[in-house]
Amino acid sequence: MRIGFGIDFHQLAEGRALWLGGVQIPSPRGAVGHSDADVLLHAICDALLGALALGDIGQHFPNTDPNYKDIDSKILLGRCWDLVKGRGWRVVNIDSTVTLEAPKIMKYAGVMRETIAALLEIGVGDVSIKATTTEQMGFVGRGEGIVAYATVLLGRATGPEARTER
Ligand code: MG
């Protein structure tokens, strides 16, 4: 098995859409970035890449490349998954936490989990999303930014240890 960890940060600003876990969440403020700035999907991308020591999302998808301007991060996650799958691995499970002051996001966790599970060809029960504020402390607490953390466990896609049931 292999374990990976990812973390991502984005600023929040008025007039930007808030994309999280592949889902657009109603919010007066959204994340600023070269892509759609989906901080949770970016953290999961980095966790997938990290599990196989394949570098980071910035190396694979440079924020100076016009091809990635405003790109849907589901496409980036799909490409990271292709790299992992192509090397003979499967995702066992993902755990993640999003830190932000507002809006409350847990009512969207179900659809985010479904979106991520479908992209990575796993069950909804294999994708955990949690959320917390920082109790008004620091840049997250002041509503200036958003942070996501993710861990991913990979197992061999084939062989005696591969899961036979989903
Ligand atoms: Mg990012």
Ligand 1 geometric centre to CA of 86 (Å): 24
How does pLDDT run along the chain (166 residues), one tens digit per residue?
999 999 999 999 999 999 999 999 999 999 999 999 999 999 999 999 999 999 999 999 988 888 888 899 999 999 999 999 999 999 999 999 999 999 999 999 999 999 999 999 999 999 999 999 999 999 999 999 999 999 999 999 986 556 555 4
Based on the structure, what is the number of domains in the chain?
A: 1
Q: Residue 166 falls within a domain, yes or no?
A: no
Q: Residue 164 falls within a domain, yes or no?
A: no
Query: What SS3 state is found at 104?
Result: coil
Nearest to 127 by CA among 107, 113, 108: 113
Residue 16's domain comprises 2-156
Ligand 1 geometric centre to CA of 155 (Å): 26
Q: For 10-45, what is the HEC assignment?
A: EEEEECCCEEECCEEECCCEEECCCCCCCHHHHHHH
Can you give the pTM of this predicted structure?
Answer: 0.94
Report strand pairing: 89-99 vs 127-132.
parallel
Ligand 1 geometric centre to CA of 135 (Å): 23
Ligand 1 geometric centre to CA of 64 (Å): 13
Q: Residue 162 falls within a domain, yes or no?
A: no
CATH number where 135 lies: 3.30.1330.50
Q: Residue 161 falls within a domain, yes or no?
A: no
